Amino acid sequence: MDNLERLLKESWVLVEDSRDRLVSHFYSRLFLDQPGLRNLFPAQMAPQHDRLLEALVTTIQIVGDPERFDTTLRALGRDHRRFHLRDEHFDAVGEALLDALASVAGKHWNDEYQQAWAGVYAAIADRMRAGAAEATEPAFWNAEVLTHERRGRDLAVITCRPLLDRLDYRAGQHVSVEVPRFLPRVWRTYAIANAPTDDNVLEFHVRVPRESWVSAALVRRTKPGHLLRLAAPTGAMTLNRDSSRDILCVAGGVGIAPIKALVQEVARYNRTRWVHVFYGARRRDDLYGLAEFQQLLSDYPWLSVVPVCSKDPDFTGEQGQVSEVFTRFGPWTEHDCFVAGSGPMVRATLGALAADGVPPEQIRYDSFGDY
């Protein structure tokens, strides 16, 4: 770990347990300095608080991987064009962030931490500006909902198609979604659940967690014919076609969505790589995507799927946390690894992969969205 990574992680420990206070201070300072920015955000700010924390944690995790850092931040800049950000807004965000970190950390904050965060934020802003400047696609796409299938009380599988311009993306990426009919200016990130198709249909798996108004609107109120807005695709959990390594996929809940897209993409060219999928949920009924994988299993002999339940004693398959079960089938040091699910599940799986000795450059993960 180089000095910058060490300083970022050390300083994050000082504020990690005071996340609510950190975010509240940040937005208070930001809107005080730039009152006009408040109109770009929804009336209720709670969902936006989660987005900031996700961005901060992701930055700390990828700063040691220059290629991924550059790719992720340029894509984020393209995505954030929907907010009509200007240069002075980037400056105000940086000042508010540093002020919030220093205030919450208190007497433990020092000049080294200040310089580390100032430097990394400058790099973030530069790459986001560059990504926005080089973008040729629209800032967002209007898309018509084609199908809406409930897979339970709080889960739906939705397909939609952009109306005018094609939305190009890679399997494993995600997009921010707005439901303008019900929640204008409120966006939520969802993984795309299918590989790109000629007819440009996108599939999303949406679960309703606590305090997610966008997910609730998508699952309970959206119908075929309604319009959604989709922002530019982001995310680096994509396949390296030049790799000859076999593939490990670990998914929890609706984290199976981007994993399904990756498997579909592999199927288009694969002749030599084995793909091992571990799919976890609390109970058998929560393994809503298993039927589609059964069809994939019958089509592709190189694919294996291991379902896992953590709270279903009657389940006849693997029992336990999926982040632990997959380790019994290892080692995985010679695999390209993909992980998608809730934040705790992803962190536990990354820890298990590290303990197994899997090199970081062979791991891609996604903990955005409602898993």
- In percent, the amount of the chain with pLDDT more than 90 equals 64
Q: Summarize pLDDT for 176-227 with one digit per residue, the tens.
A: 999 999 988 888 889 999 999 999 999 999 999 766 789 999 999 999 999 9
User: Rounded to whole angstroms, how far apart are CA atoms 211 and 42?
Assistant: 14
Q: Summarize pLDDT for 141-154 with one digit per residue, the tens.
A: 999 999 999 998 89
* pLDDT value of position 49: 54
Nearest partner of 48 among 189, 162, 163, judged by Cα: 189
Q: How far is CA 259 from CA 248, 255, 262, 339, in A?
A: 10, 7, 5, 8
- In percent, the amount of the chain with pLDDT more than 70 equals 93
pLDDT score of 123 more than 50: yes
Query: Average of pLDDT values for 81-85?
Result: 78
pLDDT score of 37 more than 60: yes
* pLDDT value of position 41: 65
* pLDDT value of position 1: 47
Q: Summarize pLDDT for 327-341 with one digit per residue, the tens.
A: 999 899 999 999 999
Query: Average of pLDDT values for 122-129?
Result: 91
pLDDT score of 316 more than 70: yes
pLDDT score of 45 more than 60: no
Query: Which pair of tokens denotes residue 242?
Result: 């030049």
Query: Average of pLDDT values for 162-173?
Result: 95
Q: What is the mean pLDDT of the chain?
A: 90
For 46-55, 58-67, 95-104, 342-351, which range has the lowest pLDDT when averaged over its residues?
A: 46-55
